């Protein structure tokens, strides 16, 4: 889903007010009703404390419409949805409201929940926000290829994962730019904070490799094991994710070289170590290296540029919104294939 500019809301139903409360057993202080009257010029703001919230929207207007929803720090939340003239389409999603609202080491952002209604022809007829008291949670531990990137044209795949999920399952993206296994474990804003957020049964997807350029293999292996053990100690379900490939082609059209396939300067083959630790620890593995390698090679040197920021910045590591959306789809496919999430909570 592309970055969306604010658009004028169509057919606002002023009668749809609601009482919003926090999701984490924290009483909302003033109990004010929040609803469609808090939307203007394509932006909705709800004064709610941190927590998980179910958002239910009614889309459509008198003319044909096509509406998508983003929120907070450029997070995609609802895929573009068409409605015929005079018809209404109901959709729902669950959103994680947090501070900081984007990267854990980034700025706090604005308090509460901010949503942007956009798309080719946006039309919002109604909206309701309620605490998601029983929502499942997917926490993401990763680097800049995963995180909620604050500025265009960058986007991490975790930033594009929510539209593939239905209401009842939220994405708490705790990935942070520039992090390795060493720095993620060592920063109290990162791993120490994430551990406290893990609830029994939560999925925790771990993709750290791109910045472990000087991490030796014993240290890298030990760090991955520490992350796995920490998730399990809290009752969570760890999932190891091999890193997305870099777009570096050999002359024969393959990505079979150290730079593309995340082998660092010490000769540490990060994807191979991740696969090994997953097998040893009995942890589910999403082999995103293999999946993205096959995809990039199938598209070839020219067509694969759009997955990354090559045209914009000659960047073969970080993904465009398009690339992040495609790669998030691969993660969705693996979550289903490994039966890590119920099929009923996934958009296909």
Q: In the CATH scheme, what is the code of domain 136-345?
A: 3.40.50.1110
User: Of all residues in the chain, what percent carry a pLDDT higher than 90?
Assistant: 87
Report, as an integer, the average pLDDT of 153-182: 98
- Hey, where are the domains in the chain? 36-131, 136-345
Burial label for 128, CB within 10 Å (0-12, 13-18, 19+), is middle
Q: Which CATH architecture is the domain 36-131 placed in? A: Sandwich (2.60)
159, 128 in Cβ contact below 8 A?
Answer: no
Report, as an integer, the average pLDDT of 136-149: 98
Distance between CA atoms of 128 and 114, rounded to whole angstroms?
13
**H/E stretch holding 63:** none
Q: In this predicted model, what pLDDT tens digit does every residue of 112-123 receive, in sequence order?
A: 999 999 999 999
DSSP string, 240-306: EEPPPPP----TTS---STTTTTB-TT--BHHHHHHHHHHHHT--EE-HHHHHHHHHHHHHHHHGGG
Q: In this predicted model, what pLDDT tens digit does every residue of 277-324 receive, in sequence order?
A: 999 999 999 999 999 999 999 999 999 999 999 999 999 999 999 999
pLDDT for res 34: 56
Taken as a whole, the chain contains a residue count of 348
Distance between CA atoms of 341 and 213, rounded to whole angstroms?
33
Distance between CA atoms of 160 and 165, rounded to whole angstroms?
10
pLDDT for res 134: 86
At 27, phi and psi to the nearest 5?
A: -65, 135
């Amino acid at each position: 889903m592309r970055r969306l500019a604010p658009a004028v809301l169509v057919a606002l139903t002023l009668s749809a007010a609601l009482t919003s409360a926090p999701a984490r057993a924290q009483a909302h202080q003033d109990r004010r009703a929040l609803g469609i009257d808090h939307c203007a010029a394509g932006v909705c703001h709800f004064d709610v404390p941190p927590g998980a919230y179910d958002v239910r929207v009614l889309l459509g207007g008198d003319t044909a419409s096509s509406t998508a929803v983003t929120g907070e720090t450029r997070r995609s939340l609802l895929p573009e949805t068409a409605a015929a003239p005079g018809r209404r389409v109901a959709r729902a999603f669950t959103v994680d409201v947090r501070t900081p609202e984007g990267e854990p080491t980034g700025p706090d952002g604005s308090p509460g929940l901010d949503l942007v209604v956009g798309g080719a022809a946006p039309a919002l007829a109604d909206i309701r926000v309620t605490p998601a008291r029983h929502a499942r949670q997917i926490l993401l531990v990763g680097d800049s290829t995963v995180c909620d990137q604050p500025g265009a044209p960058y986007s991490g795949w975790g930033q594009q994962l929510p539209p593939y999920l239905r209401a009842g399952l939220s994405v708490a993206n705790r990935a942070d730019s520039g992090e390795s296994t060493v720095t993620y474990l060592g920063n109290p804003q990162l791993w120490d904070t994430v551990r406290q957020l893990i609830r029994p049964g939560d999925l925790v997807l771990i993709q750290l490799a791109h910045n472990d350029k000087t991490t030796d293999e014993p240290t890298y292996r030990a760090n991955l094991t520490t992350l796995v053990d920490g998730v399990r100690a809290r009752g969570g379900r760890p999932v190891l994710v091999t890193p997305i490939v870099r777009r570096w082609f050999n002359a024969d059209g393959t990505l079979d070289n150290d730079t593309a396939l995340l082998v660092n300067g010490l000769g540490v083959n990060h994807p191979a170590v991740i696969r090994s630790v997953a097998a040893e620890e009995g942890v589910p593995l999403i082999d995103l290296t293999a999946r993205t390698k096959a995809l990039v090679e199938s598209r070839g040197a020219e067509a694969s540029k759009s997955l990354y920021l090559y045209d914009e910045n000659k960047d073969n590591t970080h993904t465009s919104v398009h690339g992040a959306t495609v790669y998030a789809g691969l993660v969705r496919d693996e979550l289903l294939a490994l039966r890590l999430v119920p099929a009923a909570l996934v958009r296909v």
